[in-house]
Amino acid sequence: MTLFRQLVATILMLFLVVFSVTLLVNLNSSRTFLQEQLVSHAQDTATSLGLSISTHLRADDLPAMESMVNAVFDRGYYRRIELRRMDGAPVVVRELEVRIEGVPEWFIRWLPLEAPSADALVMSGWNQVGTVTVQSHPGYAYAALWDTARQLFAWYAGLALAAMLTGWLVLRLLFRPLLDVERQAEAICARNYDMRIPLPHTRELRRVVVAMNNMTGKVKAMFEEQARATGQLQRQAYSDPVTGLGNRRYFSSQAESRLGSGDEAGGVLFIVQLEGVEEINQSRGYAAGDEFLRAAAGVVSACLTGQPGALAARLSGAAFGMMLPGLERADAESAAVDISTALASLHTQGLTESSSVAHLGGCLYRPGGSYHDIMAEADRALSLAQSRGANTWHCTTLPVDRGAEVHGGQEWHAFLEAVVREGRFELHSQPIVAAGDPGRVLHREVLVRVAAADGSLRNAGIFMPMAERRGLATAFDRAIVERVLGLMSPGGVLAVNLSPVSLEDGAFLGWLEARLEPAATGGRLIFEVPEFGATRSLEALLAFTRVLQARGHGIAVDHFGRGFANFGYLRSLRPEYVKIDSAYTRNVGASQDDQFFVGSLCRVAHSLDIDAIAEAVESEAEWAVLRDLNVDGIQGYAAGRPAPM
């Protein structure tokens, strides 16, 4: 029992004792008073009747005596009236059966009233001629006592209720700081460090609240410091300190991971070579050279805006790398023109004296291409561009297998529309198992396979960038979710990938909210959103998460750590788990930096009670390393291969 309830119960018991004693004392006083009234009333009536009837008794006027006795007796206050002569002979006797109406029997037994009798002599001069005996009837006294008891009980009950309500409110006010402390402790257990309690007026409680607020602030500061340290570690290991873009290591690990997963769509990889950087350093100083590099990095970043999954990094002193998935030749050439034109404008801004600002070499690649082959082909294209004059570009195509599909923009659009319209995709699922217990499946992720023109199945990741560029991502998501809902089983948990574009589509979210009513699903869904989409549409995602949680479903962050996002967004989003990007988990055993970074990501996630899952785990050796780094779940061929649903 809580302290509040114990105090309320104690006060209630004390009040009941006081109430009962006071009620008994008052009732006993009323009973004594009424008993004395009965005695006095009987004696007064006997005396009065004896005086009034004396002349009639001497004259032996029986009718007159009966009339006088009846007049007194019929009022109902008396149980018995007797008029006797001195020899004991009865003259007039009236008697009424004792019947008490309107008063409970238990009350009569609990508070008994005696029926007192009184005698008076009937005198004729100095001679005694008879006696009058009057016995009071207790009925009216009981009725009066019962009415008094009810009134007292009503008053005391009303006062008790008012006192209890007042006491409850006062105790509530006094105990509110303790309730706030309890909620604050529960919030800390839930890894919510934002709750602050107003300081109470009670000195003892004030000290407790101050201590709790200080502890909450320190725990919050510890989390923020840990998140900052992890972000700083990521920037030190994977970003360029001058431009803020990723470094060569970041670019190569991300590109190799995406190309090696088999889920990467075709696209274009550019190498941008700035000209005249060394001359700027020598003539204007290194600060001017760094300013030129930062301006060029800004141009590169701006050209990636609106390109889903795009990647940019500084590869070396004056070279930048750009990877844009989902682009066909026409789109790639248009992007090359835009990038070259934007970089050439740096000369007119006075950031470089040379009119030849940069050259651009690009390589169009298809799914399954080798990173090293693509880089070599892009470098060859860069050499061709440099041989053609100032601010030129050149795009080449990586040789592909004969079976590889090559579509133009319109062909892609028609193909993807047909896939959605005709439902030409299959659902497979891959288990995510507990890192410390390979036999325990945490949930299964739904993987989409699209039927190509030759009938073979291709990973949907190859087509989704194309779908996003052509406005078909939401239609894809809707068709996939509809199919998944039809395959749900009671108690099952499935994870489904959701495009960031769909998060910004109000019509899609409204449809999904209606389809996720508890009666419409037999199991539980977890929607995985890529990290860049979560940070880009955080407010929309927070609203969507509240809708999901109200219906028993959840949200998760995919490709966690791929970008350089501030991990503070996790405190407000609170996903069920984060899936660490495969660039850090693939071959994690061979990189101390990757191990340290994965361990840091796990600590950040665990400090908010969020699970961390490693993807693309292909070997037992990688599994063992990740388990030692406190990863909660494992996904990859080492845990289980995808299978049709």
Of all residues in the chain, the percent with pLDDT exceeding 70 is: 90
Taking only the tens place, the pLDDT of each residue in 202-238 is 676 777 777 777 777 777 777 677 667 777 777 777 8
pLDDT at 193 (0 to 100): 61
pLDDT band at 124 (very low <50, low <70, confident <90, very high): confident
Cβ distance 209 to 197 under 8 Å? yes
Domains in the chain with CATH codes: 3-161 (3.30.450), 239-397 (3.30.70.270), 409-644 (3.20.20.450)
Mean pLDDT of 4-25: 76
**For the residues 457-468, what does the mean pLDDT come to?**
75
Model confidence at 403, pLDDT cuts 50, 70, 90, reads very low
Q: How many angstroms separate the CA atoms of 370 and 259, rounded?
A: 7
Let me know: does 49 contact 135? Beta carbons within 8 Å.
no
578 vs 615: CA distance, rounded Å: 10
Tell me the average pLDDT across 251-262: 83
Q: Phi-psi category of 559—alpha, beta or left, where left has phi over 0 and alpha has psi -120 to 50?
A: left
H or E segment at 532? helix 531-536
Q: Which segment of 109-113, 293-297, 445-449, 578-582 scores lowest on mean pLDDT? A: 109-113
Q: What is the mean pLDDT of residues 305-328?
A: 89
185 contacts 212 by C-beta, under 8 angstroms:
yes
Q: Kindly tell me if the per-residue pLDDT of 321 is higher than 80.
A: yes
| Residue 375 or 192, more confident | 375
Cα–Cα distance, 185 to 248 (Å, whole number): 45
Convert the pLDDT of each residue in 495-551 to its tens digit.
999 988 898 888 998 898 888 875 455 689 999 999 888 888 888 899 889 988 888
Q: Which helix (H) or strand (E) holds 343?
A: helix 329-348
Q: Residue 119: enclosing H or E segment and its boundaries?
A: strand 117-124
Q: Which of 94-98, 249-253, 627-631 shows the lowest mean pLDDT across its residues? A: 94-98
Please indicate whether residue 412 or residue 523 has the higher confidence score (pLDDT). Answer: 523
Cα gap 290→278, rounded to integer Å: 11
Q: Which of 94-103, 130-139, 564-573 has the highest mean pLDDT?
A: 130-139
pLDDT of residue 444 exceeding 50, the answer is yes
pLDDT band at 192 (very low <50, low <70, confident <90, very high): low
- Which one of 104-118, 244-258, 510-524 scores highest in mean pLDDT? 244-258
pLDDT at 155: 84
| Segment of 260-269, 585-594, 615-624 carrying the highest mean pLDDT | 615-624
Across 340-358, average pLDDT: 90
Mean pLDDT of 477-504: 90
Counting residues of the chain whose pLDDT is more than 90, the rounded percentage is 28
Phi-psi region of 442 (alpha: psi -120 to 50; beta: other; left: phi over 0): alpha
Say whether 140 sits in a helix, a strand or coil.
helix
- 39 alpha carbon, distance to own chain's centre: 75
Question: How many Å apart are CA 169 and CA 81, to the nearest integer?
Answer: 60
Give the per-residue pLDDT at 50: 84
In contact, 388 and 336? CB cutoff 8 Å: no
